[in-house]
A = this chain, B = another copy of it.
Amino acid sequence: IIVATGLKPFDPSSVDLHGYGKLPNVVTSIEFEKMLKEGKIVTQSGKEPRTIAIIHCVGSRNNDYHEYCSRTCCMLGLKFYNQVRSALPNSHVYQIYADMRSFGKGCEELYAETAKRGVMFLNFDQREGIPQITKSDPEDCCEMLIEFKERLSNTNIEVPADMVVLLVGMEAREDAKEVAHHVGVSKCGNDFFIERHPKLDPVATTTDGVYIIGSCQGPKDITDSVAQARAATARVLATITQGTVEVEVTTAVVNEDICCGCQTCVKVCPYTAISYDEEKSVSVVNEVQCKGCGTCGSACPTGAIRARHFTDQQILSQIKGLLTTEMTEV
């Protein structure tokens, strides 16, 4: 099973200060991308915007929304600038950013090139407050005013804009919990799926045969998602060409005589390997899914579920054996 459920863009309606949904010309990066695709960058009144402000880290790197970095927005902001520059050569573009994260191949070069082409970079600190967007007065020659503390000059400034593009962050999909339960993978605090090892096994999960790729395991760009997709393919191909699949031998076994049918084990099993047999009123272990982790055994109130080859008797005998040897050595 390859899980590639992707992501969901952050909904900026909840960020009061940005006025998304209230001010007509505050748009998300997704909406702006559509405008660019259609070749029509116009305000709601049909005019070409003279000033466009691009606000970075909307919903990202902020304790009130998502603490993590969404990894792709900075580059999107630079791309937008260059596309606006081609479409509306006389417009002014502001990039209101926290830290400029252009870390990919060729990205720093694009950043340097963009800086030379006349974009205005303004820096803000999330901890000192996010930019506040308000409708301007009729006598101002712009649609909106953006107010924030500019970090580099350490002054409160007001930026005019006819259109504001919010670079919205990436977040986990709403059905992440359901998917996680269904395929037997774990989720981190931000609802992204957890890989078996963050460095050494980035696409596998602790459940054999289940792989997670792309943004469902954390924000990721196209390059990294494609590499991950092919990585998961390698794992699947390796299993297929091998012909047979080895499963865990230390699976859990239920002593049906003692099992009281409380289903505690069903709830705690991290691999969704235990189900409940309604007819017999006992728990049943799926030996293919069980990894022998022992969680069920420690939670069972009657001691009915135990790991095969690891009975209490066997463990006690081993301890006894060890102690005897040590005493002989001393």
Contact = CB atoms under 8 A, between A and B. Distances in A.
> 6 nearest interchain CB pairs?
A230-B231, A234-B234, A233-B234, A105-B218, A99-B99, A237-B237
Contacts of A203: 227, 230
Copies of this chain present in the complex amount to: 2
B61 A108 contact: yes
Contact of A105 (B100, B108, B217): B217
Main secondary structure of the interface of A (DSSP, over half): loop
10 contacts: A69-B102, A101-B101, A101-B103, A103-B103, A202-B226, A227-B228, A230-B232, A232-B234, A234-B234, A237-B241
Interface residues of A, number: 50
Contacts of A112: 63, 67
A7 to B, nearest CB: 13
Interface string A183-209: 000001000100000111111000000
Given A61-B108, A199-B226, 17 more contacts: A67-B108, A68-B106, A69-B107, A69-B108, A99-B99, A99-B100, A105-B218, A152-B154, A198-B223, A224-B224, A226-B231, A227-B227, A230-B230, A231-B233, A232-B234, A233-B238, A234-B234
Contact of A231 (B68, B227, B240): B227
Interface string A84-120: 0000000000000001111111111100100000000
Contacts of A240: 241
A217 B207 CA distance: 32
Interface of A: 61, 63, 67-69, 71, 99-109, 112, 151-154, 188, 192, 198-203, 217-218, 221-224, 226-235, 237-238, 240-241
A199 B218 contact: no
A233 B230 CA distance: 8
